[in-house]
Structure formats: C-alpha cells, structure tokens
Amino acid sequence: MKKNNIILIGFMGVGKGSIAREIVHNSSYIALDTDDLVESMENKRVKKIFQEDGEEYFRNLEKDIALWLEKSVQNTLISTGGGFYKVKNLKKIGTIVLLDSPFEKILKRIQEHPNAKAKLRKRPLLSDLKAAKQLYKQRRPEYLALADIVVDVTDKSVQECTKEILKKVKKYV
Ligand code: S3P
C-alpha cells in the first residue's frame, strides 16, 4: 500500500520550499526537506558537498535518504532537491506532486527574489544557465511521467498553490 506522505518534486527554484512551509502551516503534516537531510548527515552545505565530494557522492546520499524515507517516514510533507526524483523508490515513499512551470518563469522568480544572489550561489547546477535550461528540458518529461498530481504554479501565489495541492491530494492519502 502507498504511504501517506506527500512528495514535492520539481525544478530548482520552482518554489518547493516556500510551498512546503505553507502546506505545513495549513495542515497536520510535518515537513522534511531532502537537502536539509543531506546537509545534516554530512554537516556540510550542498554546494560544498558538490565541490569537495562531487555530484555522484551527493546522489548516493539522496539514495540513502530515499530508502530511509520509505522505511521510516509517515504523515510527512517531503520537499526534495530538483534531482531527487531519480531515486528508484520514489513511488514507494508517497504521493508525488510535481510543481510545474516554464524554465523562463522559474528563472524570473529566482532573479526577482530579494535574496536572488544567495539563491543562485547555493545551487551549483544553476551556475551555467544554458546548461540549466538543457537540464530542465531533459528533466521535465521525466518529472511529468512520475507525478501523480501536476500543479502549474506559474503566476500563482504560494497560498493558491497550497490550496490546490491540499484539495488534489485528498484523493490519494
Ligand atoms: C539539485 C537541486 C538542489 C540541490 C542540488 C541539486 C538538482 O535543490 O538538491 O543543488 O539536481 O536539481 P533545489 O531543487 O531545492 O534547488
């Protein structure tokens, strides 16, 4: 049987963190974030892990976390790093909600954020925007194929997205 966690997936900067916080504020879910879990496992920032240990090492940490989530976590809203969807057991962890938006809109959202510089700096895979756009193109169909629920977040407030997600997940959890 499927577990009653909700998993937010989607590209870097699409708003997974902000929407997760709003969902938790408006529901009885508790929250976990896979990047936060990686950072506390290693006592190191994601950016530093990429620099010092490499992306493959980071992806292996994500796989370990995915196994732990499947085995031990319930009733939780799980926000994920943009590449976390690649773990093999994602479907077994819970209902998958894709936060979807065109690349240009995501970029605009990051660039217009008061903390834009920090947001870009902490994401190694956004350092080259041409490569990031390619990554988006490659990933988007994979995100869509995995998602139980797709929420178009373009030009919607965090509150609107939250309402829509909580309504749609009712059928699943
Ligand atoms: C990544 C996304 C990041 C973080 C890491 C790799 C990716 O998380 O996990 O930098 O592969 O898309 P956010 O999606 O929260 O930026």
Q: For residue 17, tell me if it sits in a domain.
A: yes
What global pTM score does this model have? Answer: 0.96
Burial 116-127 (b: 16+ CB within 10 A, else e): eeebbeebbebe
CA distance 64 to 85: 13
Distance 66 CA to ligand 1 centre (A): 15
Separation CA 127–CA 114 (nearest Å):
18
Give tens-digit pLDDT for 10-23: 999 999 999 999 99
In the prediction, which pLDDT does 40 show? 97
Residue to substitute in 19, 123, 137 for testing ligand 1 pocket (most ligand atoms within 8 angstroms of CB): 123
CA of 132 to the centre of ligand 1 (A): 11
Task: For ligand 1, atom 4, name the residue with the nearest CA.
Answer: 81
Of all residues in the chain, what percent carry a pLDDT higher than 70? 99
Q: Which residue has the tokens 């408006």?
A: 26
Does some domain include residue 153?
yes
Q: What is the CATH number of the domain that holds 50?
A: 3.40.50.300
Q: Which helix (H) or strand (E) holds 104?
A: helix 103-111
pLDDT of residue 1: 60
Cα-trace Rg, the chain: 15
Q: In this structure, is residue 1 part of a structural domain?
A: no
- Residue nearest to ligand 1 atom 10, measured at CA: 123
In the predicted model, is pLDDT for residue 4 greater than 70?
Answer: yes
Which residues fall within 8 angstroms of residue 32, CB to CB, at 6 or more apart? 69, 73, 76, 77, 78, 79
Q: Which domain holds residue 61?
A: 6-169
Indicate the number of domains in the chain.
1
Q: Return d(Cα 67, Cα 65) in angstroms, integer.
A: 5
